[in-house]
Amino acid sequence: MKRQWKFMVVLIVGVISLFFEFGIHASTLFTTPLLKLQMNPQAIIIDILGIWISVLLLMEIFEDWKSGRYGVDILAVIAIVSTILINNYWAEWMILVMSTGGETLEDYATGQASKELRSLLNNTPRIANKLVNGQITEVKVNELHIGDIVLIKPGQQVPVDGEIIKGTSSFDQSSLTGESVPVTKKPGDSLMSGSVNGDAAVQMKVTKEAKDSEYQSIVALVKSSQAQPAKFVKMADRYAVPFTIISLIIGGVAWAVSGDATRFAEVMVVASPCPLLIAAPVALVSGMSSMSAHHIIVKSGPTLEKLARAKTFAFDKTGTLTENQLVVDQVVPAEKSVSKDELQGLAASVEQQSSHVIASSLVKATSKDLIKPVTDLKETTAQGVEGNVDGKHVKVGKLKFVAPDHEKIDVNSTAVFVSIDNQFAGYITLMDEMRPETPDTIAKLKRQGAQDIMMLTGDHKAVAEKVGNKAGITDIRADLLPSEKIKAIKEVPKNLRPVVMTGDGVNDAPSLTAADVGIAMGAKGATAASESADAVIMVNDLSKINDAVAISKHTMKVANVDVLTAIGVVIIIELIAFTGVIPAFWGAILQEVVDMITISLGLLAKTTPSKKQFGLEE
């Protein structure tokens, strides 16, 4: 606990002061007033401690003022000074316990609320079994290099990303992908660091070093999410000024009516702002913890506040609303002598060795019976491929490459053109395969309060409209360069902000930075998108956007209720103290009770949001 030491000092001073209070009777030893004052060390020790704590608080207040923030720590200082002036040192000590104890309780509650985040750090792979000439050598994970061979025993974590070269086993990837069932992996399959081996040993070739591997990228995001705790009190700061003014007015009127400065001190004791300072941080960190449990890494507390108030949601198309996997839409032969199956089979045969997404999608969508061996394969960069299949020379690619003399063909989707023996044979169109959860995700966002949903894509308008209409999006903006996406985000009017942008690729990184909240689909590891984003969805599931919004709304509802409850309870106690029925000492004890209530309420942010917040009902 970062601030526990101050609390420990206050407790030690309290024990020493009790010893002097009940162990030494100064009045029986000395008769002069001066000596009696000198032999009342408990008051002197507590006053020195109070002045020291007040100075530390004033330094923090000054730093806040320089940054334009006006907190409520000034009330704690006023309460301490008041008890010093009326010589009520035990009430002063209780205020110090309350102030430093509140900080310690906040650290404890924050730690409890963020344990899901910390579990990722605690489980980071550290040791690997490297195979050298058939012998096992234990090495640190960061000493592994690409090409090294690693033995992974049953029950062990995969230390870095790699590829199985020997053995077959099942791997638990739930902490990375959210898959509840272990996945069977065999030679040639890739392994993600952080997944856990099942019941058989396997040998793996390292394909990425530790710093670039899947699990370490998640850990880096988690560390980033824990790096900005000071911003969490911004919500409380909005209430700070009115709360301080009300408390000073109640205390001042109590002093004026009673004519006794003690009454002012009694009100200031119960006006100490610890509950107000604790409420927002505990609730926000609880919300971040809940996000992590849903496989969403949030980098800072303010992201939750913005998400909860978001009115506009913008999406990239390819890889975000769609699967980033093309499917065959139409097969259009140019003449009757070529059937659809033959045209598709010849095209897939020539494309089968290409790694291009269009080629791999075409091959995947074609029956294996139609794909035949190809010879004399040749690829022309950015134009197409050609080769011989069953004695026929087949070209696949752009129209100018396949049939340069053929008239232009307007196709409103991704297409590959085919020629056989230098005669135009037809074309095949492909379309993005929409994520199955996309339409439901968009519908839920609307029920959750989204006022505008945009698609921002660099793809052709016809293709974008086809996907957008199916997804339920009407604000479709196509043929956009990255700079034009940024312009579209910045031009959203104030009454439709905050804006949330979701994307998955390198070209989305600038847009994610320009949005009020950038969310990256980072299931495949750290990319420029995830590094630029405010939040990262660690599983390949777009519906997690709904979860993020629901958890944010729930968190901010809990935080606001917690803050207002804390203020209300404290003001009621202040009004009771106004009458003089609560001595300063007992007022300080009541504040500790309010602290505990505040922490308990803040932790409710970890509970499940309502169905309405999830967009499951109107």
Distance (Å, rounded) from C-alpha 50 to C-alpha 89?
A: 9
Mean model confidence pLDDT for the chain: 80
Higher pLDDT, 372 or 617: 372
The pairing of beta strand 535-537 with beta strand 517-521: parallel
pLDDT band at residue 221 under the 50/70/90 scheme: low
Residue 202, SS3? strand
Residue 153, SS3? coil
pLDDT at 563 over 70: yes
Question: What are the C-alpha distances in Å from 267 to residues 243, 248, 454, 581, 586?
Answer: 13, 9, 53, 11, 11
Is cis: bond before 498, omega within 30 of 0?
A: yes
Pick from 409-418, 434-443, 521-530: least confident: 521-530
Q: What is the pLDDT of residues 566-608, one digit of tens each?
A: 888 888 888 888 888 887 667 767 776 777 777 777 777 777 7
Q: In this predicted structure, what is the pLDDT of residue 526?
A: 42
Q: What is the pLDDT of residues 119-134, one digit of tens each?
A: 555 667 788 999 988 8
The alpha carbon of residue 377 and the mean position of all alpha carbons in its chain are separated, in whole angstroms, by: 47
Q: In this predicted structure, what is the pLDDT of residue 274?
A: 62
Distance (Å, rounded) from C-alpha 558 to C-alpha 575?
A: 26
Q: In this predicted structure, what is the pLDDT of residue 113?
A: 45
pLDDT band at residue 475 under the 50/70/90 scheme: very high
Q: What is the pLDDT of residues 197-206, one digit of tens each?
A: 987 899 999 9
Higher pLDDT, 539 or 489: 489
Q: In this predicted structure, what is the pLDDT of residue 145?
A: 93
Q: In this predicted structure, what is the pLDDT of residue 402?
A: 93
Residue ranges in 2-40 assigned as alpha helix (H)? 4-23, 33-38
Q: In this predicted structure, what is the pLDDT of residue 386?
A: 94
Distance (Å, rounded) from C-alpha 416 to C-alpha 390?
A: 21
pLDDT at 30 over 70: no
The pairing of beta strand 312-315 with beta strand 322-333: unpaired
Q: Which two tokens stand for residue 252?
A: 């001042």
pLDDT band at residue 371 under the 50/70/90 scheme: very high
Q: In this predicted structure, what is the pLDDT of residue 70?
A: 62
**What is the dihedral angle through the alpha carbons of 388, 391, 392, 396, rounded to the nearest 10 degrees?**
-20
The alpha carbon of residue 441 and the mean position of all alpha carbons in its chain are separated, in whole angstroms, by: 19
pLDDT band at residue 538 under the 50/70/90 scheme: confident
Q: Which two tokens stand for residue 385?
A: 């491929």
pLDDT band at residue 241 under the 50/70/90 scheme: confident
Q: Which residues contact 297 (CB under 8 A, 6 or more apart)?
A: 218, 221, 222, 225, 291, 535, 536, 538
pLDDT at 389 over 80: yes
Eight-state DSSP code of residue 496: G
Judge whether 372 and 359 are in contact, CB under 8 Å. Answer: no
pLDDT at 447 over 50: yes
Report DSSP letters for 421-490, one per residue: TTEEEEEEEEEEEE-TTHHHHHHHHHHTT-SEEEEE-SS-HHHHHHHHHHHT--EEE-S--HHHHHHHHH
Distance (Å, rounded) from C-alpha 501 to C-alpha 523?
A: 17
Report DSSP letters for 299-368, one per residue: --HHHHHHHHH--EEEE-IIIIIEEEEEEEEEEEESSTTS-HHHHHHHHHHHHTT--SHHHHHHHHTS-G
Q: Which two tokens stand for residue 161?
A: 């990303």
